Amino acid sequence: MKEQHSRRKAVKHILAAGAGIALTPMAGFSSSKEELPIMKGNINHAVCRWTYGHLSLDELCKVAKEIGIKAIDLVGPKEWDVLKKYGLDSSMCNGAEINLVHGFNNTAYHSKLIQNYTEMIPLVAKAGYKNLICFSGNRDGMDDETGLQNSVIGLKKIIGLAEKHGVVLTMELLNSRVDHKDYMCDRSVWGIELCKRLGSEHFKLLFDIYHMQIDEGDIIRSIQKNHAYYGHYHTGGNPGRHEIDESQELYYPAIMKAIHATGFKGYVAQEFIPAAADKIASLKNAIAICDI
Instruction: Say which CATH number the domain at 120 has.
Output: 3.20.20.150
Query: Do residues 42 and 265 touch, judged by C-beta distance below 8 A?
Result: no
> Tens of pLDDT along 18-43?
444 333 333 334 334 445 568 999 99
Confidence check: pLDDT of 11 > 70:
no
The confidence score (pLDDT) of residue 261 equals 98
Q: 286: part of which helix (H) or strand (E)?
A: helix 279-290
Beta bridge partners of 112: none
Mean pLDDT of 96-123: 98
Confidence check: pLDDT of 1 > 50:
no
The confidence score (pLDDT) of residue 60 equals 98
* % of the chain with per-residue pLDDT over 70: 87
Q: What angle do CA 278, 282, 286 make, to 5 degrees?
A: 170
Residue 10 lies in a domain: no
Residue 210 lies in a domain: yes
Q: What is the mean pLDDT of the chain?
A: 91
DSSP, collapsed to helix, strand or coil, labels residue 204 as: strand
Give the domain range for residue 57: 42-290
Mean pLDDT of 218-236: 98
Mean pLDDT of 215-232: 98
The confidence score (pLDDT) of residue 207 equals 98
Confidence check: pLDDT of 68 > 50:
yes
Residue 199 lies in a domain: yes
Neighbours of 18 (CB within 10 A): 22
Question: Who has greater pLDDT, 116 or 16?
Answer: 116
Q: What's at 92, amino acid-wise?
A: M
Residue 198 lies in a domain: yes
Residue 212 lies in a domain: yes
Phi, psi of 15 (to 5 degrees): -65, -35
Neighbours of 52 (CB within 10 A): 23
Residue 121 lies in a domain: yes
The confidence score (pLDDT) of residue 38 equals 85
Q: Report how many domains make up the chain.
A: 1
Confidence tier at 195 by pLDDT (50, 70, 90)? very high
Query: Do residues 73 and 267 touch, judged by C-beta distance below 8 A?
Result: yes
What is residue 230's DSSP assignment?
E
The confidence score (pLDDT) of residue 203 equals 98
DSSP, collapsed to helix, strand or coil, labels residue 89 as: strand
Least trusted range by pLDDT, from 28-32, 77-81, 117-121? 28-32
Burial class (CB in 10 A: 0-12, 13-18, 19+), 76: middle
Residue 138 lies in a domain: yes
Closest by CA to 241, choosing from 48, 43, 14, 94, is: 48
Residue 5 lies in a domain: no
The confidence score (pLDDT) of residue 31 equals 37
The confidence score (pLDDT) of residue 43 equals 98
> Tens of pLDDT along 140-193?
999 999 999 999 999 999 999 999 999 999 999 999 999 999 999 999 999 999
Phi, psi of 91 (to 5 degrees): -70, -25
The confidence score (pLDDT) of residue 146 equals 98
